[in-house]
Amino acid sequence: MKDTLPALGRHAQLVQVRRITLSPGSTTGWHYHHGPLLVVVSQGVLTHTFARDLSTETVQAGQAFVEAPGPEHGHIGNNLGTTPLVMYAVYFLPSPTSPLSEPTPPPGL
C-alpha cells in the first residue's frame, strides 16, 4: 500500500472527499470515473458489480478499495442490506472541472 496511495494522486489537479450514504435497496446507478478513487466503507455492506464481466465483490464496513478510472471500468454499487451504507470516497480528479462520475448505460444496452 505504501507505493499505491501516492500513485493515486500523481496526475490529480483536484482532490475531493465525499461522504456517500445509500439507504437499503438503493443504488449508485451505472457509472465510471475520470480519475481513480479511494473508497472506505464505514457502515453497512457494499455490493459492487463490474460492467466488464458482471462480476461482483462485497465490501464490508472497515474495508477499503481503489476504483480505476475510465469508461472501461464502469460499475454499479448497491446496498442490498437492511441498514444504511456509508462510504467515504476520495476522488483524484484530472481537472478542476472533471465531474465526480459519468453515467454509463448498463452492460448489454
Amino acid 45: pLDDT? 98
Q: Nearest CA to 27 among 77, 70, 61, 67? A: 77
Identify the CATH number of the domain in which residue 46 sits. 2.60.120.10
Is 107 contained in some domain? no
Q: Which domain holds residue 74?
A: 4-97
Amino acid 54: pLDDT? 96
Q: Nearest CA to 48 among 23, 28, 63, 21? A: 28
Q: Structurally, how many domains does the chain consist of?
A: 1
Is 104 contained in some domain? no
Residues 6+ apart with CB under 8 A from 102: 31, 32, 33, 34, 71
- Phi then psi dihedrals of residue 3, to 5 deg: -85, -25
Q: pTM, whole model, 2 decimals?
A: 0.90
- Cell numbers 466488464 label which residue? 52
Is 38 contained in some domain? yes
pLDDT tens-digit series, residues 36-67: 999 999 999 999 999 999 999 999 999 999 99
